[in-house]
Structure 1
Amino acid sequence: MSSSKVKLTTATAIRQKNNTTVLDEARQESDSRRAFCFYLVNFTPLDHDHSNSHKLNLKGKKILLGISGSIAAYKSALLVRLLVKAEAEVRVVMTQSATEFITPLTLSTLSKNPVLTSFTKNETGEWNNHVELGLWADLIIIAPATAKTLSKCASGHCDDLLTAIYLSARCPVFFAPAMDVDMFKHPSTQHNIEKLVSYGNSFISPEHGELASGLIGDGRLAEPENIVKILDNHFAKRPVAGSRRVLITAGPTVEPLDPVRFISNRSSGKMGYAIAEAFAAAGAHVTLVSGPTHLKTSNPNIKTIAVETAGQMFQAAKDHFEANDLIIFAAAVADYTPRYVAEQKIKKQGDSMVLDLAKTTDIAGTLGAMKRSGQLIIGFALETENELNHAQDKLTRKNFDYIVLNSLNDPGAGFAHDTNKITVIDKDKNVQQFDLKSKEEVAQDILNIVLGKWSEA
């Protein structure tokens, strides 16, 4: 790690030492758990410290962070640090099992408030009033939220301070799950999540990647920077979007060849989902028509319609088109689909195979021609050559108001990445170019463009 890219927050004498020396000293001072927290808290790369951009919305907000017993609890140190730097007032409540992964001392030092772990204070026997804590908070975020904690909150089971505060809360509650992939996908866990969402709670979806078990899949706690962005968006005041209805398509489509095989593409759906979250956080009512993806939404303002084929996506989008003020076509829809789908698995025969493909309905073009007065339509174009010309042609042909161009030639942009680099063109051929950013930040840029347009109306 380059010293020019590191912010040191310890004493001056410590700041003058190189990173390796300080980390070695920390390891000698205590066990590996404390050493890791020491490193995590005091050496945050500047390139990943986005807290300054959230000060306007989080400043002065009372955030209660609940931490349950997961290996992902180590990330809570950075989460607290980012919230405090954003000038939020943070109080931390831990379950007993959470204290086995990270010490209350670390979190009390960072939050500048005592950390609570039980109904009473051990030294004095004084009661920690869970009702008072639930009423104090402007927002509660439980991160990490284990399968056990989700189950207890869903069923109203109250046997520790954290679940008692949850049941007493009158503020918005966010859950950020963290667990192994099979635990997360288990029907009982999904049922508990559905129950909690039906109660009005919000979820910050776990990320896809390598887990503590060594397996690959959904279950990684969302990164603290992303959690802070979502909480920041929650407090953003954008009343202009409050009464708006937004239709978004996202993800790939899957065109079956037989019961086993299909034609699809590399779209992850991350861009479309990020846009849905941004508009929902701004108060809009969002209908998300999504092709197959491992992503999940966290905002109760988002209604998701799951589809698989291009035909299904067209029908769902058409059914909801008229009722929406803004339509964003962010899905990567198959241009062709097999004319015939085999009922049985196609056997390997010969050296080659010819597929008979039929053109799919041009969803954006067909619905663009149906645009009513007052509607806005935004399309996406992923190009590899003559990019600007192709995007402008698509903008005109499909009756878009804006088109978002991204290029596979830009490193870090396009399918599967967590970042994107876009160029936005409007129907008057005005061009706005943006730097490479996280897809959440790109979604905010798109939101701001739309809000600016709506404010002119």
Structure 2
Amino acid sequence: MLQNKHILLGVSGGIAAYKACALTSKLTQQGANVKVIMTENAAKFVSPLTFQALSRNPVYTDTFDEKDPANIAHIDVADWADITILAPATANVIGKLAGGIADDMLSTVLLATQSSVYIAPAMNVHMYAHPAVMENMQKLESWGYHFIEPGAGYLACGYVGKGRLEEPESIIAAVDNHQSENALFSGKRVLISAGPTQEKVDPVRFFTNRSSGKMGFALAEAAANMGAKVTLVTGPVSLETGHQMIQRLDVVTAVDMYKTMHAHFPENDIVIKAAAVADYRPKQIYDEKMKKQSDDWHVAMERTKDILQSLGDIKEQQFLAGFAAETTDPVDYGIAKLEKKNLDAIIINDVAAQGAGFGGDTNVVTYINKIQDKDEITLRSKQAVAHELLLLIARDMKDETN
């Protein structure tokens, strides 16, 4: 996956900079075109000339060293990169990136590049475990940066523990594997529903639920990152979409979502219903605001159409997955829904579990396919859960074609 790729290697100032030399050499041997950016402190550990000889490209160290008057160097190299690897990544450069600081060539390019960025930290074990460093890494991960965890062992400072830069071979394998995953859904079309619906009572009131749309949006982003062309049908949420491979369609009611999902269903290969659609809506919608009464007000409700059931009834080649938000016997109810609605997979969300459910940034789910193989995805960010779910769907789709 790395052959003929433009790889930008950022080297920051730590003793592990010497491993970046081997990384440069191995990337070049795999057929990648490598350019190196070094911080001022990195150059105190390894000479820029070493990286120039290994990469057979100029080495960048100074933001203001404009070698070509026709181009602004830090923007030109940022646009050039297909993949960016930051190795070693010190606590300082991680903090600058998380804080949006651009005060040298490397940090400026990191803010400007649109390429995939892989960060391989290397630092003292206590620095790595410091709350500020952990918070910065979590922030960057939530923004879509990819981390290659350090190894554990004897560190240059004399401590033994986690903080040693991962070996060059392991860094390359991690990048290669992730790039392979990014191509899993190349050429596929994916339809995803997200968020709640709102069922109007009168001009100022409506029934809804606590869905934030975060899980569905994370699935859409992950699918787009894996090469899919995504249609995201969302109820009213405060989230934004920015990926160029995501077409966003906003709806309000269960009827709106039913019509939009059915309109786009035939052209898609994978359909995931993550939306929390209202099961009931008011039978009567009032044109004027209902005034306060002296006694109780009873609102008659009627069933909405079951979107997932209706899609299961007509599906042909599509891989159809749905979510089951449960609080009691979640696996039993999930399996029953899987069978009844002719699904290829059910994603069971025990909303009573710690760290799971509506509104939060984490989730815990159980994935069950149509032959009832069960995969547990433990507590992690919704972005990480989305990534794992799509890998499982890709696995099951591959099994179906074999």
The TM-score bracket by the shorter chain reads 0.5 to 0.7
Question: Which residue identity is paired with 1:324?
Answer: N
Q: Hey, what's the Cα distance between the residues in 2 that align with 1:412 and 1:233?
A: 32
**1:225 equivalent in structure 2:** 141
**1:399 equivalent in structure 2:** 342
Q: Hey, what's the Cα distance between the residues in 1 that align with 2:235 and 2:44?
A: 45
CA apart distance, 1:326 = 0.9
**2:93 equivalent in structure 1:** none
CA apart distance, 1:441 = 1.2
What are the superposed Cα offsets for residues 113-150 of structure 1, whole Å, 9 maximum, x if unpaired?
Answer: 977555769xxxxx97457534543368998789xxxx
Q: In 2 relative to 1, CA 358–132 (structure 1 residues): closer, same or farther, beyond 3 Å?
A: closer
Out of 200, 223, 238, the position equivalent to 1:256 is 200
**1:422 equivalent in structure 2:** 365
Q: Hey, what's the Cα distance between the residues in 1 that align with 2:254 and 2:264?
A: 16
Q: TM-score under structure 1 normalisation?
A: 0.57
CA apart distance, 1:454 = 2.5
**1:200 equivalent in structure 2:** none
CA apart distance, 1:440 = 1.1
Say yes or no: does 1:387 pair with 2:330.
Answer: yes
Paired residue secondary structure (1:241):
coil
Q: In 2 relative to 1, CA 106–369 (structure 1 residues): closer, same or farther, beyond 3 Å?
A: farther
Q: How many residues align?
A: 307
Q: Hey, what's the Cα distance between the residues in 1 that align with 2:197 and 2:311?
A: 18
Say yes or no: does 1:413 pair with 2:356.
Answer: yes
Q: In 2 relative to 1, CA 267–107 (structure 1 residues): closer, same or farther, beyond 3 Å?
A: farther
Question: Which residue identity is paired with 2:8?
Answer: K
CA apart distance, 1:227 = 2.6
Q: Is the 8 A contact 2:308 2:322 kept in 1?
A: yes
Q: Is the 8 A contact 2:194 2:233 kept in 1?
A: yes
Out of 280, 302, 310, the position equivalent to 1:358 is 302
What are the superposed Cα offsets for residues 296-317 of structure 1, whole Å, 9 maximum, x if unpaired?
Answer: 2232111110111111000000
**1:178 equivalent in structure 2:** none
Q: Hey, what's the Cα distance between the residues in 2 that align with 1:399 and 1:390?
A: 14
> Which runs of 5 or more structure 2 residues have no equivalent in the other structure?
14-19, 25-34, 49-59, 86-96, 117-137, 148-174
Q: Percent identity?
A: 37
Say yes or no: does 1:275 pair with 2:219.
Answer: yes
Say yes or no: does 1:346 pair with 2:277.
Answer: no
What are the superposed Cα offsets for residues 209-237 of structure 1, whole Å, 9 maximum, x if unpaired?
Answer: xxxxxxxxxxxxx9212234469799622
**1:336 equivalent in structure 2:** 280
Say yes or no: does 1:322 pair with 2:266.
Answer: yes
Q: How does 1:113-152 map to 2 (within 5 A)?
A: 129=73, 132-134=76-78, 136-138=80-82
Q: In 2 relative to 1, CA 119–393 (structure 1 residues): closer, same or farther, beyond 3 Å?
A: same
CA apart distance, 1:173 = 6.1
CA apart distance, 1:416 = 0.9
Q: Hey, what's the Cα distance between the residues in 2 that align with 1:442 and 1:134?
A: 30
Q: Hey, what's the Cα distance between the residues in 2 that align with 1:252 and 1:243?
A: 29
**2:8 equivalent in structure 1:** 62
Q: Hey, what's the Cα distance between the residues in 1 that align with 2:303 and 2:395?
A: 37
**1:243 equivalent in structure 2:** 187
Q: How does 1:1-400 map to 2 (within 5 A)?
A: 61-62=7-8, 91=37, 129=73, 132-134=76-78, 136-138=80-82, 172=114, 223-229=139-145, 236-238=179-181, 239-372=183-316, 374-400=317-343
Q: Is the 8 A contact 1:236 1:281 kept in 2?
A: no
**2:375 equivalent in structure 1:** 432
Out of 385, 389, 400, the position equivalent to 1:442 is 385
Q: Hey, what's the Cα distance between the residues in 2 that align with 1:306 and 1:270?
A: 15
Q: In 2 relative to 1, CA 414–61 (structure 1 residues): closer, same or farther, beyond 3 Å?
A: farther
> Which runs of 5 or more structure 1 residues have no equivalent in the other structure?
1-55, 65-76, 78-83, 93-103, 122-126, 147-160, 175-221
Q: Hey, what's the Cα distance between the residues in 2 that align with 1:302 and 1:420?
A: 23
Q: In 2 relative to 1, CA 144–297 (structure 1 residues): closer, same or farther, beyond 3 Å?
A: farther
Q: In 2 relative to 1, CA 63–364 (structure 1 residues): closer, same or farther, beyond 3 Å?
A: farther
Q: Hey, what's the Cα distance between the residues in 2 that align with 1:433 and 1:419?
A: 14
Q: In 2 relative to 1, CA 379–117 (structure 1 residues): closer, same or farther, beyond 3 Å?
A: same
CA apart distance, 1:62 = 1.6
Q: Is the 8 A contact 1:234 1:281 kept in 2?
A: no
Q: Hey, what's the Cα distance between the residues in 2 that align with 1:413 and 1:107?
A: 42
Question: Which residue identity is paired with 1:286?
Answer: V
CA apart distance, 1:409 = 2.4
Q: In 2 relative to 1, CA 259–173 (structure 1 residues): closer, same or farther, beyond 3 Å?
A: farther
CA apart distance, 1:360 = 0.6
Paired residue secondary structure (1:272):
helix
Q: Is the 8 A contact 1:107 1:115 kept in 2?
A: no
Q: Hey, what's the Cα distance between the residues in 1 that align with 2:44 and 2:265?
A: 52
Q: Hey, what's the Cα distance between the residues in 1 that align with 2:61 and 2:345?
A: 49
